[in-house]
Structure 1
Amino acid sequence: MAFNEVKSEMTNIKENSEEFIQSTLEYYRLWGFKVSVKAGTIFMTLLLVALFSMMAMLFISLFAAYAIGEMCGSLSVGFLIVGLVYILVTILAYACRRSIVERPFIKKLSEIVFND
């Protein structure tokens, strides 16, 4: 009699542990899906904002180059000045890349992964 009880308890333990493993796997699959969807949504939002910002900067740059060129009397000088300003901004952005890009990106990604 005791052997049958132990055997049935072992069967219950096996079934419960299999059920636990399956539910844990399902939980982590759903969690991974949720994190990837949130990260993908943020990535697509940033991509669209960057695209429209770059288009706006293109037209603003063309306007500035023509305006500076008219003031200087030469369109090529206007485009040169605008190009030099962009080179300066690029150098500054590269020098400050950790505080501008890396830290906010890591902070946002860690919020997505660890706060849920």
Structure 2
Amino acid sequence: MSLNDSLAGTNKKAKAVSEKFFHTTYEYYRLKIFQQLTTSFGIVFKTLLIGSMLLLGLTFIAIAVAFLIGKALGNYTHGFLIVGAFFVLISLITYMLRKHISNFIVRTLSEKFFN
């Protein structure tokens, strides 16, 4: 009977250790997922906040430059057309470089997410 008792005791200890390991691993991954989510949401929130402020500032600068060019040319419409053409040109360049931009974003976010 002592062999059976010994095996039963060993089984109980193994079960207790494995349950503790499972719960510890579960808690670790819960915390890790929470950390990754908060980091990701923080990056997105900061990017949106900074991006919106930058967009607002660039809008006012573009309007001011359009009025400045229009005043120099004597026709405000021409100033706005020139500034609009500039933004279309920048958009086309950005469109042509979209794969490089996507790769840069994936590389940057993967470093933050997986480290």
2: CA distance between counterparts of 1:65 and 1:5? 88
Q: TM-score, normalised by structure 1?
A: 0.92
Q: Which runs of 4+ in 1 moved over 2 A?
A: none
The higher relative CO (CA closer than 8 Å, separation ≥ 6) is in 1
2: CA distance between counterparts of 1:49 and 1:77? 31
Contact 2:73/2:79 (8 A) holds in 1: yes
Match of 2:65 in 1: 64
Contact 2:40/2:113 (8 A) holds in 1: no
1: CA distance between counterparts of 2:72 and 2:84? 16
2: CA distance between counterparts of 1:112 and 1:18? 32
Identity percentage of aligned residues: 31
Residue type of the partner of 1:73?
G
Aligned length: 114
Q: TM-score, normalised by structure 2?
A: 0.92
2: CA distance between counterparts of 1:38 and 1:69? 45
2: CA distance between counterparts of 1:112 and 1:57? 29
